Chain A
Amino acid sequence: MTTDLDERVREIEDPELPHVTIGDLGIVRSVEVAGDTATVLLTPTYTGCPATDQIRDDVAAAVTEAGYEADVQLVMSPAWSTDWITQRGHERLRAAGITPPPPVDPTGATAVSMPAACPRCDSRQTRLISEFGATACKASYVCNACTEPFEAFKAL
């Protein structure tokens, strides 16, 4: 049952990234059941991410629906990293037209690795048009090869 609940929580979709689950994003730290209570630890992607409250509510609802008292907690440390996004998460982001993040530079020197590959035609002849995007986790690009605009995950 614990494993079922774990899977159920990880399969909740991210409110701002369609078709990507919170398990794919690597923000579910643990799901522990003790008696009637299920404790879920989540790591927010960004301190100000507006989706965090929605995700917390969605997780609490899923846990309650599974018959447990929900205890959902946010843990800041260790800080979330885009390296925690799963392989399946990468594939789903690409399928949704979002270039997945490159591995984080261990020196912390580069926050965005350029150039990002176009999620549609795979060309690396792309240009950054803004280091920011529609959500805190993405930057905005245009592909010079197929001329399509796209978003790419920032490595963080």
Chain B
Amino acid sequence: MDPLLIYTLRQGDRALVLAQRLLEAVTHAPEIEEDMALSNLALDLIGQARALYSYAGEVEGDGHDEDHFAYWRDQHEFLNPLLVEQPNGDFAQIVVRQFLHDAWAAPYWNVMQHSGDETLRALAGKAAKETAYHLRHSRSWVVRLGDGTDESHARAQTAVDGLWRYTGELSEIDDVEHALAADGVIPAAADTLHDTWRNSVGDTLTEATLDMPDDGIMHTGGRTGRHTESFSYLVGEMQVVARAHPGAVW
């Protein structure tokens, strides 16, 4: 497969799968304003996924539209990092997952504003603004919970500890990235993303009085289609209507 196609799908899948997890959480947030926030985050992510899937369709050249990529691929064909597919736990787990993602995605889209690929560069201009806003929100919750009551602190720390093993994959670089870096699609500044992420996460965890876990073993494989167990349920729920009624429109 064309590296640009794989790369575009990885980014689109990251956005769509996280959005799907957020939508599962809507109506379960601690307050109605937060339900609204989670659905707004999901809306922006779906918008980003749609733009990326449309572009993937162009790159692939087989006439596939955005719905094809969302509804008609099987789970091993999804290329999102494992972090975003981790099932919802308590609210602390949902916002910590969001924060660990946003702290990577915000600088990622900033860097991509210098991409040599015109379409990705244009999308990055938009997505950078949206994602900076998401980070501001998820970060403030991590601080509020971490530096809150004994109960909220304990839950936030449990979430950080439980999700940490999925963060190493975010900054992984393989042959796909190497090929696109050589073509200028991925700017050289992308090399600094892991350090930027780590510093930003470290600062927030300190402010939140939470401990940064040791790196230890990092799980990986989502970006090559090897997913964790709960992912099949997510894909099943997301695709069931489209597959039960192929081609239906309203």
A47 CB contact (under 8 Å) in B37, B48, B121, B136: B48
> Is A136 within 8 A of B44, CB to CB?
yes
> Is A132 within 8 A of B33, CB to CB?
yes
B43 at the interface (CB under 8 A from A): yes
> Is B43 within 8 A of A48, CB to CB?
yes
> Is A49 within 8 A of B47, CB to CB?
yes
Q: Write the chain B residue with the least CB distance to A47.
A: B47
Q: How far is the CA of A77 from the CA of B114 in the complex (A)?
A: 13
Once A76-B51, A111-B132, A111-B133 are accepted as A-B contacts, the answer to whether A48 and B44 lie under 8 Å apart by CB is yes
Q: How far is the CA of A76 from the CA of B129 in the complex (A)?
A: 13
What bracket does the count of chain A residues touching chain B fall in?
20 to 34
B126 CB contact (under 8 Å) in A76, A133, A140: A76
> Is B44 within 8 A of A132, CB to CB?
no
> Is A76 within 8 A of B125, CB to CB?
yes
Q: How far is the CA of A79 from the CA of B43 in the complex (A)?
A: 17
Work out how many contacts link A and B, with CB atoms closer than 8 A: 76
Q: How far is the CA of A103 from the CA of B48 in the complex (A)?
A: 25
Q: Write the chain B residue with the least CB distance to A140.
A: B33
Instruction: Enumerate chain B residues within 8 angstroms of A130, measured Cβ to Cβ.
Output: 33-34, 36-37
> Is A47 within 8 A of B44, CB to CB?
yes
- Produce 1/0 per residue, B13-56, CB < 8 A to A: 00000000000000000000110110010011111101100000
- Produce 1/0 per residue, A41-52, CB < 8 A to B: 000101111100
Q: State the main secondary structure of chain A at its contact with B.
A: loop
- Produce 1/0 per residue, B74-101, CB < 8 A to A: 0000000000000000000000000000
Q: State the main secondary structure of chain B at its contact with A.
A: helix
B123 at the interface (CB under 8 A from A): yes
Say how far B185's CB is from chain A's closest CB, in angstroms.
Answer: 16
Q: Which of B33, B48, B127 has the most C-beta atoms of chain A within 10 angstroms of its own C-beta? A: B33
> Is B129 within 8 A of A131, CB to CB?
no
What bracket does the count of chain B residues touching chain A fall in?
20 to 34
> Is B33 within 8 A of A47, CB to CB?
no
- Produce 1/0 per residue, B114-129, CB < 8 A to A: 0000110111011111
Instruction: Enumerate chain B residues within 8 angstroms of A75, measured Cβ to Cβ.
Output: 122
> Is A132 within 8 A of B37, CB to CB?
yes
B66 at the interface (CB under 8 A from A): no
Say how far A30's CB is from chain B's closest CB, in angstroms.
Answer: 16
Q: How far is the CA of A80 from the CA of B47 in the complex (A)?
A: 14
Q: How far is the CA of A132 from the CA of B35 in the complex (A)?
A: 10
Say how far B37's CB is from chain A's closest CB, in angstroms.
Answer: 4
Q: How far is the CA of A78 from the CA of B33 in the complex (A)?
A: 31
Please give the residue numbers on chain B whose beta carbons come within 8 Å of chain A beta carbons, in ascending order.
Answer: 33-34, 36-37, 40, 43-48, 50-51, 118-119, 121-123, 125-130, 132-133, 136-137
Q: A48-B43, A134-B36, A136-B44 are in contact. List 10 more A-B contacts (CB 8 A).
A: A46-B47, A75-B122, A76-B51, A76-B123, A79-B129, A111-B129, A111-B132, A130-B36, A131-B137, A156-B133
A-B contact pairs, 25 of them (CB 8 A): A44-B126, A46-B43, A46-B44, A46-B126, A47-B47, A47-B50, A47-B126, A47-B127, A48-B44, A48-B48, A49-B47, A75-B122, A76-B123, A77-B122, A77-B126, A130-B34, A131-B37, A132-B36, A132-B40, A132-B137, A133-B36, A136-B40, A154-B133, A156-B129, A156-B133
